Amino acid sequence: MSDSAYYESMGVFFNGNDAEAFAGALEREGIPFRVEYIAFEDRPDEILAVEIHVKKSAAGKAEEIKNEIIRATLDNPDVYLHHISDEDLQEIPLQPEDANDFDYWAALELIRRKGLPLDDRDWEAFRQERILEMLEQRRPKQSGLLPLAVFIWVMGAALLAFTYNTLPYVSLLFFAGSAMIARHMLKHPGEFDASERKKARYVQGLSVGAIVAALWFSFRVFQS
């Protein structure tokens, strides 16, 4: 039997501070736990959330600790949940991306305490699915600029190969264009996929090297 069979999930945490608070409480109580990192399949180094598991024998105590933190959140009069309308409170379960982990769970508890209408569904599963979907939508996609930069560089290289002893400086326009596209991608990391930006760095280096070569051939042509 795998080791995971002896552990039970206490929930997925998208907020680092909430995860640390819960893990710290478990540690103080001597409850064995482990953390499972959630990331995109094609980008395992980009952590999206953590799921905290505890030994099944201590799951009941861990659930009590989690509920105590939720109650402490609601007992705090300064928590914003006490200062919004019932309509806004009812929107929180439907828009989990706008609330921290314990704020979300506290909102559900407050809705139940107030006796407000609440759909009968697995709200925790809904929360996780919606947030992960939104993170997927927000991640930078392949832009198509990199193939354009490579194409322009290849055109410049071909032009340089045929005109290096006559008009090599014309290819400078192509290499400069390729370098500018690559530089734009590197200066705006939030707009482009990490793997695409990594390749853009190589394209920028090749473009700069090609510009130097074209300038050298241009100097020779003008000297001749």
Residues in the chain: 224
- The conformational region for residue 115 under phi > 0 = left, psi -120 to 50 = alpha, else beta, is left
Assign 223 a pLDDT band (cuts: 50, 70, 90): low
Q: What spatial distance separates the first Cα and last Cα of the chain, rounded to whole Å? A: 80
Q: Is the pLDDT of residue 22 over 90?
A: yes
CB-CB contact of 7 with 91 (8 Å):
no
Q: How does pLDDT run across 200-214, given as a tens digit for each residue?
A: 888 888 888 888 888
Q: Which residue has the tokens 């861990």?
A: 62
Query: In DSSP terms, which residues pair with 176 in a beta bridge?
Result: none
Assign 2 a pLDDT band (cuts: 50, 70, 90): very low
Q: What are the residue ranges spanned by the domains of the chain?
A: 3-138, 145-223
Secondary structure element (H or E) that encloses residue 33, with its range: strand 33-40
pLDDT, mean of residues 64-70: 94
pTM score of the predicted model: 0.61
Assign 138 a pLDDT band (cuts: 50, 70, 90): low
Rg (CA), the chain: 28
Q: Which one has a higher pLDDT value, 159 or 63?
A: 63
Q: Is the pLDDT of residue 145 over 80?
A: no
Q: How does pLDDT run across 27-62, given as a tens digit for each residue?
A: 999 999 999 988 877 676 778 888 999 999 999 999
Q: How does pLDDT run across 97-118, given as a tens digit for each residue?
A: 888 999 999 999 999 999 999 8
Q: Which of 47-56, 131-140, 168-177 has the weakest average pLDDT? A: 131-140
> What is the per-residue pLDDT for 157?
86
pLDDT, mean of residues 8-37: 92
> What is the per-residue pLDDT for 173?
85
pLDDT, mean of residues 185-191: 74
> What is the per-residue pLDDT for 218?
78
Task: Indicate if the alpha-carbon torsion angle 64, 77, 97, 186 is positive or negative.
Answer: negative
Assign 137 a pLDDT band (cuts: 50, 70, 90): low
Q: Is the pLDDT of residue 1 over 50?
A: no
Single out the residue of 146, 149, 202, 201 nearest to residue 175, CA to CA: 149
